[in-house]
Amino acid sequence: MRQLLVVGNWKMNGSRASINSLLDGLLSGPAVAGTEVAVCPTYVHLPQVLALCAASAMTVGAQDCSHMQSGAYTGEVAPGMLAELGCRWVILGHSERRQYHGESDALVAAKVAVAIEAGLQPIVCVGETREQREAGEAQRVVSAQLKGALQGQASLNALVVAYEPVWAIGTGLTATPEQAQEMHECIRACLESIDGADAQATRLLYGGSVKADNAAQLFAQPDIDGALVGGAALQAADFKAIIAAAAA
């Protein structure tokens, strides 16, 4: 049985004071049994978050990493550096990286390879635009992104895949539970065709305006194993409600 996983992607948000307050709220009370929880702050806040979470069950990840382990790459952060800090996860291929930084499937694949080599667990994001969905291309686009990022990887045992329909990220729109399940089923079928991937063991997360009031219906779907949460992860009460929905 796949353990449920809820990951908070804080994006480019937070100050030292706001993070202290947020984690004080998130870490108060008992951990929810059966659900794994992680948060992914900005690079500059990683040491603070790692220190605050050290005595808890909450794990920590980064929002991206370089495709190289070291060298003359000004402004980049190597996956080995993240692992040395104590990070467990790294989000790769997020649609905002693709949109604002022109990241290709080939670049995502290179990042996946070095992240795994460094001992990090990649959370690989895939998702279609509204135009692609309306054109009936959603499954083809998502399958191509997945194969582009994962084909030929040395090891995929620690892989997590997050389906984030681009049209639902930060828009308030959310795929229906049925739409999300249909795509997660497609992703699991696609994983069956990728060497080294364990389709039945790989956890698939849904992302895209996940909130407390829709989380339980999403988590009830057979191929949805948790969520990659954006805006709601910045509010302790909202994020805890989503975590509770995963355990319900």
* Beta carbons within 8 Å of 135's beta carbon, 6+ residues apart: none
CA distance 189 to 169: 24
- Known catalytic residue at 94: yes
Instruction: Write down the pLDDT at residue 209.
Output: 85
CA distance 63 to 137: 27
The more confident residue out of 170 and 216 is: 216
Q: What is the DSSP letter of 34?
A: T
CA distance 93 to 150: 11
pLDDT category, 142, cuts 50, 70, 90? very high
Task: Name beta bridge partners: 204.
Answer: 161
End-to-end CA distance of the chain: 16
Q: Which of 94, 103, 128, 184 is catalytic?
A: 94
Percentage of the chain modeled with pLDDT above 90: 88
CA distance 90 to 65: 7
- Residue 16 in this model has a pLDDT that exceeds 90: yes
Rg (CA), the chain: 17
Which pairs from 25-31 meet CB under 8 Å and 24+ separation?
25/236, 25/237, 25/240, 26/58, 26/236, 26/239, 26/240, 27/52, 27/53, 27/56, 27/58, 29/240, 31/56, 31/57, 31/58
pTM: predicted TM-score of the whole model, two decimal places: 0.96
Instruction: Write down the pLDDT at residue 225.
Output: 97
- Residue 169 in this model has a pLDDT that exceeds 80: no
Instruction: Write down the pLDDT at residue 234.
Output: 97
Amino acid at 113: A
* pLDDT, mean over the chain: 95
* Beta carbons within 8 Å of 53's beta carbon, 6+ residues apart: 23, 27, 39, 59, 60
Three-state DSSP state, 27: coil
Amino acid at 95: S
Instruction: Write down the pLDDT at residue 98.
Output: 95
Lowest mean pLDDT segment, chosen from 26-30, 97-101, 102-106, 225-229:
26-30
pLDDT category, 188, cuts 50, 70, 90? very high
- Known catalytic residue at 185: no
Nearest to 14 by CA among 63, 70, 73, 55: 63
- Residue 12 in this model has a pLDDT that exceeds 90: yes
Instruction: Write down the pLDDT at residue 247.
Output: 79
Instruction: Write down the pLDDT at residue 57.
Output: 95
Q: Which of 36, 128, 164, 184 is catalytic?
A: 164
- Residue 203 in this model has a pLDDT that exceeds 80: yes
pLDDT tens for 37-90 read 999 999 999 999 999 999 999 999 999 999 999 999 999 999 999 999 999 999
- Residue 138 in this model has a pLDDT that exceeds 90: yes
pLDDT category, 246, cuts 50, 70, 90? confident
Mean pLDDT of 169-197: 91
Instruction: Write down the pLDDT at residue 113.
Output: 97
CA distance 237 to 243: 10
pLDDT tens for 98-119 read 999 999 999 999 999 999 999 9
Amino acid at 71: G
